[in-house]
Structure 1
Amino acid sequence: MRIRVEGTETEVAAAVAAIATVVEVQEASGFYPNRGASVLGRVYLTVAPLGGQPGPVQATAERTEQPRPPRIPRGRREIR
């Protein structure tokens, strides 16, 4: 199974360590910085269930709410 983890380099390292506690990380890419002036990047993981046995995996996560940019309303536009 392939997983992409995206965030700052510190966040990605912490996420990869957490993921490794619930699945076997077979392969991990280097940190690829995102384009432009972004401080974010990504790592690609190849993982397998622990012990080689397929089955349900349960993990815990902490969600941090961040404000979203305002949405652009969709629908009819007035043409002038």
Structure 2
Amino acid sequence: DHLHRHSSYHDQRNGHHFHFHYHPHHRHHHFRYEAAAAVVVVVVVVVVVVVVVVVVVVVALAAAAAAAAAAVVVVVVVVVVVVVVVVVVV
């Protein structure tokens, strides 16, 4: 919604030109801030990527653990069934 409003403003008022020349002398003042913001963005992206990788690894491990647990459960059930069958037959 904000983007749409901005684009319509841009169309009506030639917003790009207006924005480009709005703060010429503020560029120097905010250069370090912009650089810091860029660094923050990079750090955030890196953190997000790391978190995603960790989540994927954890999910994969959890899936493997669940598969192992399921295998164990299946084995136990099979063993119990075999024992019960043997006991009933004998």
Give TM-score scaled by structure 2 length.
0.21
* Structure 1 or 2: more strand by fraction: 1
* Greater RCO (Cα-Cα under 8 Å, separation 6 or more): 1
Give TM-score scaled by structure 1 length.
0.23
* Structure 1 or 2: more helix by fraction: 2
Between structure 1 and structure 2, the one with the greater Rg is 2
